[in-house]
Structure 1
Amino acid sequence: MAVVTLRLLPHAPLREQVGSSRAVYARGGELLRLTLAPDEQYRVWVSLKNISPTLVEAVLLYEDRSFYRHPGVNPAALVRSAWHITSGGRRQGGSTLTMQLARRIYGIDSRSYDGKVAQIFAALWLQARYSKREVLEAYLNTAPYGGNIEGVQAASLIYFRKSAGDLTLPEALTLAVIPQNPVKRIAERGRNAELQSARQRLLALWKERDPAARVLAPDAELALSAQSRGNLPFLAPHLTDMLLAQERGQQDIRSAIDLRMQTTLERVLAQYLRTRSDVGLINASALLLDASTMEVRALIGSADWHDAKIEGQVNGTQARRSPGSTLKPFIYALALDQGLLHPKTVLKDAPTAFGPYTPENFDHRFVGPVSAQDALIRSRNIPAVSVAAQLGKPNLHAFLRLAGVQKLQSEAHYGLALVLGGGEVTPEELAGLYATLANGGVTQPIRYTQRGPNDQPTATAPLRLLSEEAAFITLDMLRHTPRPDTAQPARPAVAWKTGTSWGFRDAWTAGVFGRYVLVVWMGNFDGSSNPALVGVDAAAPLFMRMVDALRAQRFDTTEVPKRQPRDLRQIEVCAATGGLPDALCPVRTNTWFIAGKSPIQTSQLHRAVWVDEASGKIVCGPQPGARQQVVEQWSSDMRRLFRQSGLPRAAAPNDGCDRTDISANDDASNNPLDDLATADHTPRITAPLRGVRHILRTQKPEPLVLRAETDAGIRTIYWFAGDTLIGQSAPGEGLTWLPPMAQASQRHTLRAVSDQGASETREITVDIVP
Structure 2
Amino acid sequence: MQVARLRLHLHTRTVRGKLEQMLRALELERHYSKDEILEAYLNLAPYGRNMEGAGAASELFFGKTAARLTQPEAVALSVIPQSPARRAPGSMNNTALNAAQNRWYDRAGAREDFSARSFSARAQMNGGNFAPHFVRQVLTEGRDEEQILTTLDLARQQMIERRIADYIALNRERGIVNAAVLLVDTRTMDVLAQVGSAEFWNTQINGQVDGTRAPRSPGSTLKPFVFALAIDQGIIHPLSILADAPRSFGDYNPENFDREFLGPIRATDALVRSRNVPAVALAAQLSHPSLYEFLRNAGVHLPRDEASYGLTLTLGGADISLERLVHLYAALANGGELRPLRRTSSREPSKSSRRILSAEAAFLTLDMLRTNPPPSLAEASLDSPVYWKTGTSNGFRDAWSIGVFDHYALGIWIGNFDGEPNPAFLGRAAAGPLLFGIIESLRASWPEPPVRHEPPAGANLKRAEFCSVSGNLPGPHCRQRTEGWFIPGVSPIKQCEMHREVLVESDSGSRGASDDGIRHLRREIYEFWPADLLELFESTGAPRRAPPFGCDIPSTDAHELRMISPTSGPAVVIRRTLARDGIPLRAQADAGVRDIYWFSDRSFIGRAPPSQTLSWKAQSGEYELIALDDRGHSASCSVVVR
Q: Same fold (TM over 0.5)?
A: yes
Is the Cα–Cα contact under 8 Å of residues 262 and 540 in structure 2 kept in the other structure? Answer: yes
Residue-by-residue CA offset, 1:153-179 (whole Å, 9 max, x unaligned): xxxxxxxxxxxxxxxxxxxxxxxxxxx
Q: Work out the CA distance in 2 between the residues paired with 1:37 and 1:43.
A: 6
* Cα-to-partner distance string for 1:35-93 (whole Å, 9 max, x where unaligned): 6779x9998699xxxxxxxxxxxxxxxxxxxxxxxxxxxxxxxxxxxxxxxxxxxxxxx
Secondary structure in 1 aligned to 2:221? helix
- How is 1:55-204 mapped onto 2 (pairs within 5 angstroms)? 147-148=72-73
Which residue in 2 is equivalent to 1:691?
Answer: 572
Which residue is 1:547 aligned to? Answer: 439
The match for 1:667 is none
8 Å CA contact 1:482–1:490 kept in 2: the answer is: no
Asked if the contact 2:400/2:413 (under 8 Å) is kept, the reply is yes
- Closer, same or farther: CA 752–543 of 1 in aligned 2, 3 Å: same
Change (3 A) 1:306 1:629: same
Q: Which amino acid aligns with 1:524?
A: N
Residues 250-307 of structure 1: CA distance to partner in whole angstroms, max 9, x if unpaired? 3322110111111111111100000000011000000000010000001101000111
Alignment map for 1:443-522 (pairs within 5 Å)? 443-452=338-347, 461-486=352-377, 488=380, 490-522=382-414
- Paired residues for 1:612-761 under 5 Å: 612=505, 618-619=511-512, 621=514, 626-657=521-552, 677-682=556-561, 684=563, 686-687=565-566, 691-693=572-574, 695=576, 706-735=585-614, 745-761=620-636
Task: Tell me, yes or no, if the aligned pair for 2:621 and 2:641 is still in contact at 8 Å.
Answer: yes
**Superposed displacement of residue 247, structure 1:** 3.3
Q: Tell me the distance in 2 between the aligned counterparts of 1:557 and 1:311.
A: 40
2:84 alignment counterpart:
none
Residue equivalent to 1:605: 498
1:269 counterpart = 2:164:
yes
What is the TM-score with the length of structure 1 in the denominator? 0.65
Show the counterpart of 1:61. none
Using the TM superposition, give the Cα deviation of residue 413 of structure 1 relative to its aligned residue in structure 2, in angstroms: 1.5
Gaps of 5+ in 1: 1-15, 23-32, 47-140, 151-180, 190-226, 660-675
Asked whether the 8 Å contact 2:213–2:323 carries over to 1, the reply is: yes
Q: Alignment partner for residue 284 of structure 2, among 389, 396, 399?
A: 389
| Counterpart position of 2:473 | 580
1:475 counterpart SS class? helix
Secondary structure of the 1:252 match is coil
Is the contact between residue 302 and residue 315 of structure 1 (CA under 8 Å) also seen in structure 2? Answer: yes
Secondary structure at 1:362 match in 2: coil
TM-aligned CA distance change 1:535 to 1:731, over 3 Å: same
Residue 324 of structure 1 corresponds to: 219
Q: How many residues align?
A: 550
- Alpha-carbon offset, residue 724 of structure 1: 4.9
CA 1:345–1:461 in 2, change beyond 3 Å: closer, same or farther? Answer: same
Question: Among the aligned pairs, what percent are the same residue?
Answer: 41
Choose 435-444 or 232-241, whichever is displaced more: 232-241
Distance, in Å, in 2 between the alignment partners of 1:323 and 1:295 is 23
CA distance in 2, matches of 1:685, 1:385: 13
**SS of 1:314's equivalent?**
coil
In 2, are the aligned partners of 1:710 and 1:731 still within 8 Å (CA)? Answer: yes
CA contact (8 A) 1:476 1:495 kept: yes
Instruction: Answer yes or no: is the 8 Å Cα contact 2:526–2:546 preserved in 1.
Output: no
Code of the residue aligned with 1:333 in structure 2: it is A
- Measured at CA, do residues 765 and 182 of structure 1 come closer, stay the same or move farther in structure 2, by a change above 3 Å? closer
Shift of 1:579: 1.1
Pair 297,629 (structure 1): closer, same or farther in 2 beyond 3 Å: same
Equivalent residue for 1:531, pick from 401, 404, 423:
423
Task: Give the letter aligned to residue 597 of structure 1.
Answer: V
**CA displacement, residues 528-583 of structure 1 (integer Å, 9 cap, x when unaligned):** 11111110110001111000011111343744997534211111111111111111
Structure 1 counterpart SS, 2:223: helix
Q: Write the letter of the residue equivalent to 2:629.
A: S
CA distance change for structure 1 residues 425 and 713 in 2, over 3 Å: closer, same or farther? same
| Aligned-partner SS, 1:590 | strand
Aligned to 1:569: 462
SS of residue paired to 2:212:
helix
Q: Name 1:669's counterpart in structure 2.
A: none
Structure 2 contact 391–426 (Cα < 8 Å) conserved: yes
For 1:519, give the aligned amino acid. Answer: G
Matched ranges for 1:368-379 at <5 A: 368-379=263-274
Change (3 A) 1:44 1:511: closer
Determine the C-alpha separation between the residues in 2 that align with 1:299 and 1:461.
23
Give the superposition deviation at 1:340.
0.6
Matched with 1:89 is none
Partner of 1:591: 484
Aligned AA (1:315): D
Matches of 1:754 and 1:473 in 2, distance apart?
A: 38
* Displacement of 1:695: 4.0
In structure 2, the CA distance between the partners of 1:415 and 1:564, relative to structure 1 (3 Å rule), is same
How many angstroms apart in 2 are the aligned matches of 1:45 and 1:716? 80
Larger radius of gyration: 1
* Equivalent of residue 437 in structure 1, options 320, 332, 354: 332
Query: SS in structure 1 opposite 2:270?
Result: helix
C-alpha distance after superposition, 1:135-156 (max 9, x if no partner): xxxxxx89xx774479xxxxxx
Q: Is the 8 A contact 1:612 1:626 kept in 2?
A: yes
How much has 1:627 moved relative to structure 2?
Answer: 3.2
Is the alpha carbon distance of 1:717 and 1:473 closer, same or farther for their aligned partners in structure 2, counting shifts above 3 Å? same
Using the TM superposition, name which of 718-727 and 570-579 deviates more: 718-727
Q: 1:405 maps to what in 2?
A: 300
The answer to which of 342-351 and 723-732 deviates more is: 723-732
- What's the CA shift for 1:657? 4.6
Q: Distance in 2 between matches of 1:605 and 1:295?
A: 49
Kept after mapping to 2: 8 A contact 1:301/1:316: yes
- Checking the alignment, whether the CA contact within 8 Å between 1:36 and 1:43 is kept in structure 2 is no
Distance in 2 of aligned mates of 1:576 and 1:734: 26
* Counterpart among 233, 237, 244 of residue 139 in structure 2: 244
Measure, in 1, the Cα distance between the counterparts of 2:442 and 2:184: 13
Following TM superposition, by how much is the alpha carbon of 1:501 offset from its aligned partner in structure 2, in angstroms?
Answer: 0.4
Distance 1:628 1:303, change over 3 A: same
Following superposition, the deviation at residue 686 of structure 1 comes to: 2.7
Whether the aligned pair in 2 keeps the contact of 1:551 and 1:557 (CA below 8 Å) is no
The letter of the residue matching 2:293 is A
2:51 corresponds in structure 1 to none
Q: Give the aligned CA root-mean-square deviation in angstroms.
A: 3.6
Structure 1 residue 694 displacement after superposition: 6.3
Q: What's the counterpart of residue 338 of structure 1?
A: 233
Alpha-carbon distance, 1:766 to partner: 5.7
- Structure 1 707/559 Cα, relative in aligned 2: closer, same or farther at 3 Å? closer
Work out whether residues 289 and 516 of structure 1, in 8 Å CA contact, stay in contact via their aligned partners in 2: yes
How many angstroms apart in 2 are the aligned matches of 1:537 and 1:522? 11
Give TM-score scaled by structure 2 length: 0.77
